[in-house]
Amino acid sequence: MNVVEEYSARINVDYPIAYHADSSFLILKSSSKERWGSKWCVLSSIWECGSNGPGSYKLRLSSPRPSCPLDQAIFSLNNVHFCLERSWFDYEKFFYEWNPCGSDLVPVFNDQAILASWEIFVLVKEVWFSRQTISFRDILYSTLDPKASAFERISSIESIQKLDCFTQVQGVWHRDFLIPLKDKYLNWFEKFGSYARNKLLRQKQV
Protein backbone atom coordinates (compact mmCIF):
# COMPACT_ATOMS: atom_id res chain seq x y z
CA MET A 1 0.00 0.00 0.00
CA ASN A 2 1.47 3.38 -1.03
CA VAL A 3 1.13 6.72 0.79
CA VAL A 4 -2.00 7.83 -1.10
CA GLU A 5 -3.74 4.48 -0.54
CA GLU A 6 -2.83 4.54 3.14
CA TYR A 7 -4.16 8.09 3.58
CA SER A 8 -7.40 7.31 1.71
CA ALA A 9 -7.98 4.23 3.89
CA ARG A 10 -7.28 6.20 7.06
CA ILE A 11 -9.88 8.88 6.27
CA ASN A 12 -12.28 6.26 4.84
CA VAL A 13 -12.39 7.78 1.33
CA ASP A 14 -12.50 5.20 -1.46
CA TYR A 15 -11.40 7.18 -4.50
CA PRO A 16 -9.76 5.33 -7.40
CA ILE A 17 -6.11 6.14 -8.08
CA ALA A 18 -4.32 6.33 -11.43
CA TYR A 19 -0.80 4.88 -11.25
CA HIS A 20 2.17 5.99 -13.31
CA ALA A 21 3.75 3.67 -15.86
CA ASP A 22 6.08 4.36 -18.76
CA SER A 23 3.71 2.41 -20.97
CA SER A 24 0.38 0.75 -20.25
CA PHE A 25 -2.81 -0.33 -21.97
CA LEU A 26 -6.42 -1.39 -21.48
CA ILE A 27 -8.62 -3.57 -23.72
CA LEU A 28 -12.26 -2.60 -24.17
CA LYS A 29 -15.00 -4.69 -25.74
CA SER A 30 -17.17 -2.87 -28.24
CA SER A 31 -20.86 -3.52 -28.78
CA SER A 32 -20.77 -1.45 -32.00
CA LYS A 33 -18.37 -2.83 -34.60
CA GLU A 34 -19.81 -0.35 -37.10
CA ARG A 35 -18.65 2.58 -34.96
CA TRP A 36 -15.26 1.29 -33.86
CA GLY A 37 -14.40 -0.99 -36.78
CA SER A 38 -13.69 -3.95 -34.50
CA LYS A 39 -15.03 -5.95 -31.61
CA TRP A 40 -12.09 -4.65 -29.57
CA CYS A 41 -10.48 -1.29 -28.85
CA VAL A 42 -7.23 -0.63 -27.02
CA LEU A 43 -6.46 2.40 -24.88
CA SER A 44 -2.71 2.91 -24.65
CA SER A 45 -0.71 5.33 -22.52
CA ILE A 46 2.92 6.28 -23.18
CA TRP A 47 4.93 8.53 -20.87
CA GLU A 48 7.33 10.98 -22.56
CA CYS A 49 9.87 12.87 -20.45
CA GLY A 50 9.94 16.63 -20.97
CA SER A 51 13.16 18.30 -22.13
CA ASN A 52 12.63 21.48 -20.11
CA GLY A 53 10.14 20.37 -17.48
CA PRO A 54 7.76 17.61 -16.41
CA GLY A 55 6.80 15.06 -18.99
CA SER A 56 3.39 14.16 -20.40
CA TYR A 57 1.29 11.13 -21.31
CA LYS A 58 0.31 10.25 -24.88
CA LEU A 59 -3.10 8.58 -24.77
CA ARG A 60 -4.45 6.75 -27.80
CA LEU A 61 -7.58 4.73 -28.49
CA SER A 62 -7.23 2.43 -31.48
CA SER A 63 -8.54 -0.78 -32.99
CA PRO A 64 -6.46 -3.80 -34.07
CA ARG A 65 -5.76 -4.27 -37.75
CA PRO A 66 -6.66 -7.63 -39.33
CA SER A 67 -3.99 -9.65 -41.14
CA CYS A 68 -1.00 -7.78 -39.78
CA PRO A 69 2.35 -9.17 -41.07
CA LEU A 70 4.50 -10.73 -38.37
CA ASP A 71 7.15 -8.02 -38.63
CA GLN A 72 4.79 -5.07 -38.21
CA ALA A 73 3.10 -3.38 -35.26
CA ILE A 74 0.12 -5.12 -33.70
CA PHE A 75 -2.10 -2.04 -33.74
CA SER A 76 -2.57 0.01 -36.87
CA LEU A 77 -1.67 3.67 -36.76
CA ASN A 78 -4.37 4.49 -39.33
CA ASN A 79 -7.17 3.08 -37.18
CA VAL A 80 -6.87 5.59 -34.32
CA HIS A 81 -10.07 6.91 -32.73
CA PHE A 82 -8.41 9.59 -30.65
CA CYS A 83 -4.92 10.67 -29.72
CA LEU A 84 -4.45 13.02 -26.76
CA GLU A 85 -1.64 14.49 -24.71
CA ARG A 86 -2.11 15.04 -20.99
CA SER A 87 0.31 16.62 -18.53
CA TRP A 88 1.34 14.66 -15.46
CA PHE A 89 -1.14 16.55 -13.25
CA ASP A 90 -4.04 15.98 -15.69
CA TYR A 91 -3.41 12.25 -16.12
CA GLU A 92 -5.70 11.09 -13.31
CA LYS A 93 -8.29 13.72 -14.29
CA PHE A 94 -8.45 12.12 -17.74
CA PHE A 95 -9.58 8.80 -16.28
CA TYR A 96 -12.20 10.48 -14.11
CA GLU A 97 -13.61 12.36 -17.12
CA TRP A 98 -13.13 9.66 -19.77
CA ASN A 99 -14.94 6.61 -18.55
CA PRO A 100 -16.67 4.11 -20.84
CA CYS A 101 -19.19 3.24 -18.11
CA GLY A 102 -22.61 3.32 -19.75
CA SER A 103 -21.17 3.53 -23.28
CA ASP A 104 -20.68 0.88 -25.94
CA LEU A 105 -17.13 0.18 -24.72
CA VAL A 106 -16.65 -2.11 -21.73
CA PRO A 107 -13.19 -2.68 -20.15
CA VAL A 108 -12.19 -6.30 -19.58
CA PHE A 109 -10.03 -7.70 -16.77
CA ASN A 110 -8.47 -10.94 -15.50
CA ASP A 111 -9.43 -14.03 -17.58
CA GLN A 112 -11.52 -11.91 -19.93
CA ALA A 113 -8.47 -9.77 -20.71
CA ILE A 114 -6.52 -12.92 -21.61
CA LEU A 115 -9.32 -14.12 -23.90
CA ALA A 116 -9.65 -10.67 -25.48
CA SER A 117 -5.90 -10.59 -26.13
CA TRP A 118 -6.10 -14.01 -27.76
CA GLU A 119 -8.97 -12.92 -30.02
CA ILE A 120 -6.99 -9.85 -31.09
CA PHE A 121 -3.93 -12.01 -31.70
CA VAL A 122 -5.93 -14.38 -33.90
CA LEU A 123 -7.43 -11.41 -35.75
CA VAL A 124 -4.13 -9.75 -36.61
CA LYS A 125 -2.57 -13.11 -37.56
CA GLU A 126 -5.63 -14.59 -39.27
CA VAL A 127 -3.74 -15.32 -42.52
CA TRP A 128 -1.19 -17.45 -40.65
CA PHE A 129 -3.93 -19.29 -38.72
CA SER A 130 -5.91 -19.95 -41.91
CA ARG A 131 -2.92 -21.78 -43.41
CA GLN A 132 -2.71 -24.36 -40.61
CA THR A 133 -4.07 -27.91 -40.67
CA ILE A 134 -7.70 -28.82 -40.06
CA SER A 135 -6.85 -30.46 -36.73
CA PHE A 136 -5.05 -27.27 -35.65
CA ARG A 137 -8.03 -25.12 -36.64
CA ASP A 138 -10.36 -27.40 -34.69
CA ILE A 139 -8.46 -26.52 -31.52
CA LEU A 140 -8.39 -22.88 -32.61
CA TYR A 141 -12.19 -22.80 -32.88
CA SER A 142 -12.46 -24.14 -29.32
CA THR A 143 -10.33 -21.21 -28.09
CA LEU A 144 -12.86 -18.81 -29.63
CA ASP A 145 -16.08 -20.67 -28.77
CA PRO A 146 -18.41 -18.13 -27.08
CA LYS A 147 -20.43 -20.98 -25.53
CA ALA A 148 -17.40 -22.41 -23.73
CA SER A 149 -16.39 -21.24 -20.26
CA ALA A 150 -13.34 -19.03 -19.73
CA PHE A 151 -11.55 -21.99 -18.14
CA GLU A 152 -12.24 -24.22 -21.16
CA ARG A 153 -11.11 -21.57 -23.63
CA ILE A 154 -7.90 -20.81 -21.74
CA SER A 155 -7.18 -24.54 -21.52
CA SER A 156 -7.55 -24.76 -25.32
CA ILE A 157 -5.19 -21.78 -25.73
CA GLU A 158 -2.62 -23.59 -23.59
CA SER A 159 -3.06 -26.73 -25.70
CA ILE A 160 -2.58 -24.95 -29.00
CA GLN A 161 0.66 -23.39 -27.76
CA LYS A 162 2.13 -26.86 -27.31
CA LEU A 163 1.83 -27.67 -31.02
CA ASP A 164 5.09 -27.53 -32.98
CA CYS A 165 3.86 -25.13 -35.64
CA PHE A 166 2.88 -22.54 -33.04
CA THR A 167 6.57 -21.77 -32.48
CA GLN A 168 6.37 -19.64 -35.65
CA VAL A 169 4.21 -17.05 -33.86
CA GLN A 170 4.89 -17.87 -30.23
CA GLY A 171 7.35 -14.99 -29.91
CA VAL A 172 4.70 -12.51 -31.06
CA TRP A 173 2.10 -13.92 -28.67
CA HIS A 174 4.45 -13.72 -25.69
CA ARG A 175 6.16 -10.41 -26.52
CA ASP A 176 3.12 -8.42 -27.66
CA PHE A 177 0.39 -9.95 -25.49
CA LEU A 178 1.28 -12.17 -22.51
CA ILE A 179 4.15 -10.11 -21.14
CA PRO A 180 2.31 -6.75 -21.52
CA LEU A 181 -0.77 -8.29 -19.87
CA LYS A 182 1.37 -9.14 -16.85
CA ASP A 183 3.45 -5.98 -16.64
CA LYS A 184 1.55 -3.17 -18.36
CA TYR A 185 -2.18 -3.78 -18.05
CA LEU A 186 -4.31 -1.05 -16.42
CA ASN A 187 -5.85 -3.31 -13.78
CA TRP A 188 -6.37 -0.33 -11.47
CA PHE A 189 -8.87 1.13 -13.97
CA GLU A 190 -11.44 -1.39 -12.73
CA LYS A 191 -11.91 0.82 -9.66
CA PHE A 192 -12.64 3.81 -11.88
CA GLY A 193 -15.46 1.83 -13.49
CA SER A 194 -16.95 0.96 -10.10
CA TYR A 195 -16.62 4.57 -8.97
CA ALA A 196 -18.37 5.85 -12.11
CA ARG A 197 -21.22 3.33 -11.78
CA ASN A 198 -21.77 4.28 -8.14
CA LYS A 199 -21.69 7.96 -9.03
CA LEU A 200 -24.33 7.48 -11.76
CA LEU A 201 -26.47 5.50 -9.32
CA ARG A 202 -26.27 8.28 -6.73
CA GLN A 203 -27.21 10.88 -9.34
CA LYS A 204 -30.31 8.88 -10.35
CA GLN A 205 -31.38 8.60 -6.72
CA VAL A 206 -31.30 12.37 -6.20
Where along the chain do its domains lie? 3-198
CA distance 58 to 33: 25
User: Is 27 in contact with 105 (CB distance < 8 Å)?
Assistant: no
The letter for the amino acid at 32 is S
Provide the mean pLDDT of the chain. Answer: 84
Reported as a single tens digit per residue, the pLDDT across 106-152 is 999 999 999 999 999 999 889 999 999 999 999 999 999 999 999 99
Instruction: Output the pTM of the full model.
Output: 0.85
Reported as a single tens digit per residue, the pLDDT across 178-190 is 999 999 999 998 8
Reported as a single tens digit per residue, the pLDDT across 55-71 is 999 999 988 877 766 55
